[in-house]
Amino acid sequence: MAKKGMTYADAGVDIEAGDRMVDLIKRHMQRSYGPRVLGKHGAFAGMFRLDYNERLFKRNYTDPVLVSCADGVGTKVLMAIEMGVHDTVGQDLVAMNVNDMIVQGAEPLFFLDYIGTSKCDPKWMADIVKGVADGCQLAGCALLGGETAEMPDVYGDGEYDLAGFAVGVVELKKIIDGTRVERGDVILGLASSGVHSNGYTLVRRIVTAAKLKLDTVYPELDTDRTLGRVLLEPTRIYVKPVMQMLRSYKVKKVVSGMAHITGGGIVGNLNRALPDDCNAKISRDAWDVPPVFDFLATRGNVDQDEMDRVFNCGIGYTLIVRPDFAESVKRQLEKAGETIYTLGKVTAGSGKVTWG
């Protein structure tokens, strides 16, 4: 009998498992589709209509500007792997991209994901893509396609990493870039859902150093959920409330700047929305800091300055608005389900965030 030749599976790549995964994720992708998605599932590339004239879904742009983002979830995936929970980090992946995109006033159109892994486990991969599809539905964009790469020579057994890519559009005259920010503008903060997707290398170091257990309920967290579940809470997606609010002002430009609060915290992100002659003066007492941040600071012996520099500390998104419209904007966002805090005001300065 002739000796069986070497196969791709022998080298660590299972083509059949990849095919099974594609079948499993099909329904998750399709539930994010709208009338602007063209072509069939499984094509070599996805297609999306920018303009369309159907009476029911009419949406045309006068002077469209395409906006794109790419981001990942970072080492939060290692916590998901450790806990065996794979259906939440996909939402994080979408959030990290689309929350950046709306800062410019852009509407997310479609999303692409990339999963690199040691071995294609169809169930794991389907759970991850389910989370991505959940995030796309929350953001109102289509999961148009993606790629799964099985690379046992790159990743250890059971490991994976995620990357995401989003494309959106904004009318040229409606771009929000911070150039209109001026002294007296009011700074509003939207509550985060927790740690979101930044600082997890430090989070994991705290868990290890303090000998914390991810499967344990800690009274300091003020919840009946385990520490692991609290830390895996998906990043909040702010797209629909923010875009709905912006569209309600058809003529007036009441929002002068926005910032997604990610790695770097408020200090390292809100400053990106400021012109060189303005500061943002923030009151530390303006919002309720979720218990998880005090828990991490105490158990990890982390100074407040470091907490401010690494984590969102309870504020996931900020808007800089004209003072006469601050209450109106706040009411609209609260009606949409957001928790809003008045954080401070814009003052004369040099493009920095200061504490007041």
Distance CA 37, CA 50 (A): 10
pLDDT digits (tens, 9 = 90+) for 181-207: 999 999 999 999 999 999 999 999 999
pLDDT digits (tens, 9 = 90+) for 30-70: 777 887 778 766 677 888 888 877 765 667 889 999 999 99
What is the torsional sign of CA 258, 261, 262, 264?
positive
Q: What domains sit in the chain, N to C, each tagged with a CATH number? A: 15-174 (3.30.1330.10), 186-355 (3.90.650.10)
> What is the band of 27 on the pLDDT scale with cuts at 50, 70, 90?
low
Which residues fall within 8 angstroms of residue 62, CB to CB, at 6 or more apart? 171
């250890």: which residue's tokens? 156
pLDDT for 304 equals 96
**pLDDT of residue 241 exceeding 60:** yes
pLDDT for 222 equals 96
> What is the band of 264 on the pLDDT scale with cuts at 50, 70, 90?
very high
pLDDT for 120 equals 86
The C-alpha angle with vertex 297 and arms to 296 and 303, in degrees rounded to 5, equals 150
- Give the pLDDT mean for 110-120: 94
pLDDT for 11 equals 58
pLDDT for 28 equals 67
pLDDT digits (tens, 9 = 90+) for 125-177: 899 999 999 999 999 999 999 999 999 999 999 999 999 999 999 999 999 99
Distance CA 22, CA 317 (A): 35
- Give the pLDDT mean for 253-258: 97
pLDDT digits (tens, 9 = 90+) for 70-109: 999 999 999 999 999 999 999 999 999 999 999 999 999 9
pLDDT for 8 equals 53
- Are 354 and 281 in contact by the 8 Å Cβ rule? The answer is yes
What average pLDDT does the structure give for the chain?
A: 92
The C-alpha angle with vertex 335 and arms to 333 and 340, in degrees rounded to 5, equals 40
Percent of the chain whose pLDDT exceeds 90? 79
Distance CA 352, CA 334 (A): 28
